[in-house]
Amino acid sequence: MSSALTLAKIRVRWNEVLDLVESQDRVIWIAYFDARLESFDNGRLTLDFRDSNKLATGHDFQEARLRHRSVLQSAFLDVFGESVVIVEK
């Protein structure tokens, strides 16, 4: 894992990752689009979904995200050239 990759660099290009996910599967994009990038340490990217519960009806896609996390990880690899483990908070 390259030490040059930081949370700040990921934030700058995060929309590229999401755009790639959306081009592959819009349903998976919907499950991840409101993630907040919380931390990046030792190849582990922590996503925070607390804001997804602020809407009156909520939209908890945790089960879908678990089933399709590999699509997000693959898009991350395509954009950054590095593998990452996605962790949810």
- Neighbouring C-beta atoms of residue 76, cutoff 10 Å: 23
Check if the beta carbon of residue 25 is closer than 8 Å to that of residue 71.
yes
Question: pLDDT digit string (tens) for 46-79?
Answer: 999 876 555 545 555 666 677 788 899 999 999 9
Is residue 31 over pLDDT 90? no
Distance between CA 76 and CA 70 in Å, rounded?
A: 10
Axis-axis angle for helices 62-80, 7-24 (nearest 10)? 110
Mean residue pLDDT across the chain: 85
Mean pLDDT, rounded, for 35-56: 82
Widest Cα–Cα separation across the chain:
41
